[in-house]
Amino acid sequence: MRDPAPEPSQEQVTRRNGGRLVTSVATGTWAPLTLTLMVTVAGSVTALALPAVLAGTVDAVVAGRNTLPATRNLALLLVGMTLLDIASVVAGAACVASAVVSLRMRLVGRLLAASAVEAARFPTGELVNRLVSNTATTAYVPVTLLRTAVGVITSAGGVVALFTIDWRVGTAFLAGVPLTLVVIRLLFTRMSGLYDDYQAAQGRLATRLTETLAGIRTVRAAGTVDREISRVLDPLPELSAAGQALWKVQSRSVWQLALMLPLIEVFVLGVAGFGVAEGRLEPGALLAAAGYTTLALAFVGQIESLMDVAYGRSAAQRVCQVLALPVLAPGSVPLAAGPGTLSFRGVTVTREGGPLLDGIDLEIPAGAMTAVVGPSGAGKTTLALLAGRLADPDRGQVLLDGQILGEVDPASLRSAVAYAFERPALLGGDIASAIAYGNATSGIEEVRAAASAAHVDDVIRRLPAGYRTPAAEAPLSGGEIQRLGLARALLPRARLTILDDATSSLDTATEAQVTSALVEGMRGRTRLVIAHRPATAARADLVVWLEAGRIRAQGTHRELWRDPAYRALFASEPAALAGRDRSPITVPAATRPDHAVQNQEESCPATP
Amino acid sequence: MPGHSVTSTRSRTAVASPAGDHAQAAWRTLAELLRPRRRPLAAAAAWSLVEAAPALLSGLLIATAVDRGFLIGRPAAGLAWLALLGLTMAVRAVATRQMFPHLAAVIEPLRDDLVRAVVAATVTRASTGGEAPDGAAVTRLTQQVETLRNLMAGMLRNSRELGVSMVAALAGLLLLSPSAAVIIGGPVLVALISFARLLRLLVVRQRDLVIAGETLTAEATPILAGLRDVAASGAQAQAQDALRSLVAAQAAATRALAWAGTSRRLVVTLGAHVPLIGLLLAAPPLIEHGYLTAGEVVGVVIYLSTGLEPTLRTLLGTVGSWGVSLTVTLRRITEAITFSPEPPIRHRPAVGSEVVCLPAADDLETDVLTFAYSPEATPVVRDLSLTIGEGEHLAVVGPSGIGKSTLAMLLTGLLEPTSGQVRLGGVPLATVPERHLRTVMALVPQEAYVFAGTVRENLAYLCPERETAGDERLGAAVEAVGADALVERLGGLDGTIDEPSVLSAGERQLITLARTYASSARIVILDEATCHLDPAAEARAEQAFAVREGTLIVIAHRISSAARAGRILLIDSTSALAGTHTELISRSPLYADLVGHWHDGPHGHDRRLAGGI
């Protein structure tokens, strides 16, 4: 299976890419699709044979000839038709099912391989919608197109059959077709744009609901549930209007068709009846003419399928936007053993015009604890993301023990680098699995040890089912979740541990305990700590002071403390709030899975 | 035992429960949704009757055209009968056109109602705290409502085919040839009965598919929300495996449903093909004995092939697929929009009921207050007796997870104590009207709620007289908590926040602080509401609230918050102790320890922080 779009930017994701995705889905499921095609074609052949055989049988009946052979043939044909019909349905479902699986796994694969920064552009609700709903809609498109195509060919066969009855009958039919086509084409173009409007309105509503659910504690405390409900529902009139517009277009076009088609039918029957009257045709020909006219007009019924296709293409585009996310190309070189020296060489990250990090050259000494401080927007979080290759720099290199991170194979990089976040997402099931997430082979003793080191063991023991309590259902505070995330980072005993504001929700006492664990308990391992408290910086071996994407100074906390501007970082009106004119890289921070919806609009830039 | 344990029961239990018992509720929901739409429904039904004219007359008119026109060499008469058929079809086209606006008038408002109901239920359910905000909520909103809308539209558009055409075709058949009608009627009846029996299986399969989809949504949401964590833990393979098995289960359900659906094709054979063959076998003797004419045979076959068979197909397709989907989707939505009748806080009277007591004062008092998540669990708050006077500035300190947030919830009446009570102005919270409580008290949680809208809308959120909340008042609040630079950057009060996630966590906290400051709340509880601010900004915001009229309770994030407070409540795992900063330093080793941690920085600067700025 091939990728539909070689890394186009978000803006370039156009209708064309949606089409390409559909093509690749079709190629991916070629086997069941071919089977569907074969049985559908066979089914349409029997459908084309039916009116003629039926007419022959009726003629035999009317003429008083021996009817048994004709009736037997008819019966066989009907049985064959039923069986082919069943085969077509089952094969079609198989196509859809495997297309959905392949689309969803491609989407998941892309999201898991993408840089965390890029994936965070989509709110979680959007991602879920694309994974569950848009993929399903897209997966139907190849089968629908195939059935439509066969339907159109069958219709053409019906026309040919009308001509074989009598050229006059065929001509009578064709006379009505051009106008019908014009009406259909109009309908199709009108509908496509309207579907986009409709989906956009739906999206706005969903976004508002997600927002409200994220702030539900405030809503609850303020007693503003009713107001929130009406706020979420604000875009409803737009949705309604788009829906009404869809109906209007249908009403306008469908009634024209509903008038035109039966008139064609009656016209054809009239011409055939004339043939019967003149003795050129037998009475059965009327049946055949009626049957073939129905078949020939069946292409009109494909309009709705084409609407589904239009709908499916909109969905395909939405899937494409995710598949177009740039991935972090995995390296292949195993990471050699080393003490854990981290180096930044000319590292620059640009976002929306401005640099987030601007030519950073920095050595993080092995085995030491380095604190990164600076006002919000200085680039601290970006630095942390680069340090363990959750994102790649636009220019420059990040090296761990002399090896460029981008070249190191992901498995060995992950075992060498661990992360703890301000708002960790607890994944994997129960608390023990959440701590061992990504280290599935760890035993419960190791998990306990990590939890103790993060000062969260006693909290876990107090939970209803201890370590076996489902993480999603455990009543945990922000600080407790943060410590669980910390335990997860401590578990692998990684060469380099990166803590991005990972203790911000801890109260002073707990943070002091945790900091001791970082200082004493992890002695000899490299630690990069994004800090906004002087106490943390004070205990670090080295402090790196970032400002506006550059290193303003580095040294020990004691040395830097002499600079009033440094002291101001911790104690004065933050320049950050006034001077932040561009957004930092934001990453969806997660607390716990059942609060997932609320996390998607959270960001975790290092706040002062 | 309070009925709203924080340990959520989640929707997963609902997913696993058999949907069977909800069937009636589901159809009641549909009836309720359709009731206000009776008029357009009736109009659409009336037009359906008109639409059925060709179905009733087609075979009859064609048989007449053959017997009295074409076969006896009178083509003009034959054409005239056909012209009559053409007329019925033109009438049908007009009826179709007339029907659309009525259908739209049923479907679009129905969808609107559904969206309203789902949104209201989701938000309300989340706000009662009994259940955590549901990860599937948003998808449920867009997907299931949309499915239901499409299904209803399809059902209504095809309803004529279902009822009217089937009856019309059979009636036409009976008019044309009673003997043929007898031959055909039997198998049709048998087909319908066997189909009714098949429906059960189809419903089960369809429901399995829906459940598979919902499970996928529920399990995928946390993973997609935590992509960064997956990457950082190197757990891509684990996450992929977890999702793959769910995706595969859903695909298997799709296939199983398709197999179950094949039975519908066999029903078509039984109901349409068997009678056709039967008729053709019986026709020669019938014609011989004068029971049937040639034209009638043609007419009967026309009824069968263009009337009955397509109708039967549509019936099976519509009922067997859409109808089943509709049933299942309706059940899911009904589950989503109906919640347990138990109100979030049981004993709280509504305004207007007789037991209403409006407290005259704002002092808060707790009386041997105890709260535990479950009877077995260690209580989070135990036997707490405390009085917080009007206008007091209290800081609550203690290690993480000791129950400070729970206490805030208990004090504001958002959580009901396991035993003991909280009194506001001497009145037990349980008897104070909800509305009054929510106006008098403002609880600001750690996670700041900022929504897309103007800055003014966000700031005036807690002002009951929202429309008239003066800009000066908002401006003063912004100034007081130190959010002026931020508001200015956002473009002043008229500035818009399009995407709240663009703001940093600290900036969002500043907005919620200004909002609370501007409110008329007389008791403000900041539950680590300043944790993303730097110490100086935190101090400024807290000072502003301390100066503001009314009671201030700060669940302290940093010990420096405690030093600023008039009184401190120190919570430990075994006890709670209240006193001033200096009192506690001498009386509580734990407190001294907490403060002590700030003494070890270089040059003693931390001490300065600890002592307040």
Chain A nearest C-alpha distance from B86 (Å): 6
Chain A nearest C-alpha distance from B333 (Å): 16
Residues 14-73 of A with CB under 8 A from B: 54, 57-58, 61-62, 64, 67, 71
pLDDT over 90, % of chain B: 14
Cα dihedral: B418, B421, B424, B429 (round 10)? 50
Which positions in chain A touch B400 (Cβ < 8 Å)? 459, 477, 479-480, 483, 505-507, 510
- In this complex, do A605 and B225 lie within 8 Å of one another by their Cβ atoms? no
For B449, the closest of A62, A219, A478 (CB atoms) is A219
Interface test with B, best of A25, A62, A256 (most B CBs within 10 A): A62
∠ Cα B309 B154 A36 (to 5°): 60
> How many Cβ pairs closer than 8 A exist between chain A and B?
584
For B152-165, the pLDDT digits (tens) are 888 777 766 667 77
For B549-573, the pLDDT digits (tens) are 899 999 887 777 888 888 999 887 6
Whole-complex ipTM: 0.79
For A250-273, the pLDDT digits (tens) are 887 777 777 887 788 888 888 888
For A108, the closest of B240, B450, B512 (CB atoms) is B240
CA dist A199 and A452 (Å) reads 49
Rounded mean pLDDT of B570-594? 79
For A178-225, the pLDDT digits (tens) are 888 887 777 777 776 788 888 888 888 888 888 888 888 888 888 888
HEC string of B86-147 equals HHHHHHHHHHHHHHHHHHHHHHHHHHHHHHHHHHHHHHHHHHHCCCCCCCCHHHHHHHHHHH
Calculate the CA B170 to chain-centre distance: 44
CA dist A576 and A548 (Å) reads 10
Residue pair B478/B443 in contact by the 8 Å Cβ criterion? no
- In this complex, do B6 and A225 lie within 8 Å of one another by their Cβ atoms? no
For A243, the closest of B108, B445, B504 (CB atoms) is B108
Which positions in chain A touch B217 (Cβ < 8 Å)? 128, 132
Which positions in chain B touch A604 (Cβ < 8 Å)? 505
Chain A nearest C-alpha distance from B501 (Å): 5
Asked whether the predicted pLDDT for residue A91 surpasses 90, the reply is yes
Question: Across B57-66, B228-237, B302-311, which has the greatest mean pLDDT?
Answer: B228-237
Is the pTM above the cut of 0.80?
no
- In this complex, do A127 and B224 lie within 8 Å of one another by their Cβ atoms? yes
Read off the pLDDT band of B469 (50, 70, 90): low
pLDDT over 70, % of chain A: 89
Burial class (CB in 10 A: 0-12, 13-18, 19+), A553: middle
Cα end-to-end distance, chain B, whole Å: 45
Which positions in chain B touch A570 (Cβ < 8 Å)? 534-535, 609
For B495-509, the pLDDT digits (tens) are 988 878 778 888 899
CA dist A333 and A312 (Å) reads 42
Residue pair A426/A450 in contact by the 8 Å Cβ criterion? no
Chain B nearest C-alpha distance from A133 (Å): 7
Asked whether the predicted pLDDT for residue B595 surpasses 90, the reply is no
Residues 497-526 of B with CB under 8 A from A: 499-507, 510, 512
CA dist A393 and A412 (Å) reads 20
- In this complex, do B226 and A104 lie within 8 Å of one another by their Cβ atoms? no
Which positions in chain A touch B540 (Cβ < 8 Å)? 573
Residue pair A89/B295 in contact by the 8 Å Cβ criterion? no
Predicted pLDDT at A450: 92
Rounded mean pLDDT of B458-467? 76
Predicted pLDDT at A102: 93
Please, how many CA atoms are within 13 Å of residue A524, restricted to the half-sphere of its CB?
A: 3
CA dist A143 and A516 (Å) reads 62
Q: What is the gyration radius of the CA atoms in chain A, in angstroms?
A: 34
- In this complex, do A116 and B227 lie within 8 Å of one another by their Cβ atoms? yes
Rounded mean pLDDT of B46-74? 83
Interface test with A, best of B122, B128, B146, B224 (most A CBs within 10 A): B224
- In this complex, do A583 and B502 lie within 8 Å of one another by their Cβ atoms? yes
Residues 380-399 of B with CB under 8 A from A: 397-399
Q: β-pairing, B441-444 with B523-527?
A: parallel
- In this complex, do A71 and B277 lie within 8 Å of one another by their Cβ atoms? yes
Closest of A608, A405, A382, A593 to residue A496, by C-alpha: A405
Read off the pLDDT band of A282 (50, 70, 90): confident
Tell me whether A488 touches chain B (CB under 8 Å).
yes
Alpha helices in A11-134 (DSSP H): 15-28, 30-63, 68-113, 116-119, 124-129
- In this complex, do A534 and B502 lie within 8 Å of one another by their Cβ atoms? no
CA of B413: which chain A residue's CA is closest? A221
Predicted pLDDT at B17: 39
Predicted pLDDT at A593: 32
**Count of other CB atoms within 10 angstroms of residue B174:** 15
- In this complex, do B302 and A583 lie within 8 Å of one another by their Cβ atoms? no
Residues 250-309 of A with CB under 8 A from B: 250-251, 254-255, 258-259, 262-263, 265-267, 269-270, 273-274, 276-278, 283-284, 286-287, 290-291, 294
Chain A nearest C-alpha distance from B239 (Å): 8
Residues 68-127 of A with CB under 8 A from B: 71, 74-75, 78-79, 82, 85-86, 89-90, 92-94, 96-98, 100-101, 104-105, 108-109, 111-114, 116, 119-120, 123-125, 127
Chain B nearest C-alpha distance from A164 (Å): 20
Residues 177-216 of B with CB under 8 A from A: 213, 216
Which positions in chain A touch B503 (Cβ < 8 Å)? 603
Residue pair B306/A290 in contact by the 8 Å Cβ criterion? yes
- In this complex, do B445 and A217 lie within 8 Å of one another by their Cβ atoms? yes
CA dist A509 and B556 (Å) reads 11
Average pLDDT, chain B: 80
Q: Which of A151-160, A374-383, B78-87, B139-148 has the lowest mean pLDDT?
A: B139-148
Q: How far is CA B581 from CA A166, A524, B365, B562, B609, in A?
A: 106, 39, 21, 7, 14
Asked whether the predicted pLDDT for residue A8 surpasses 70, the reply is no
Asked whether the predicted pLDDT for residue B7 surpasses 90, the reply is no
Which positions in chain A touch B434 (Cβ < 8 Å)? 223
Backbone angles phi, psi at B579, to 5 degrees: 175, 180
For B606, the closest of A214, A390, A534 (CB atoms) is A534
CA of A409: which chain B residue's CA is closest? B234
Residue pair B335/B167 in contact by the 8 Å Cβ criterion? no
| Secondary structure (DSSP) of A223-251 | T-HHHHHHHHTTTHHHHHHHHHHHHHHHH
Say which residues have a Cβ less than 8 Å from residue B370's Cβ, sequence separation at least 6: B379, B381, B382, B383, B384, B417, B418, B419, B420
CA dist B65 and B85 (Å) reads 10
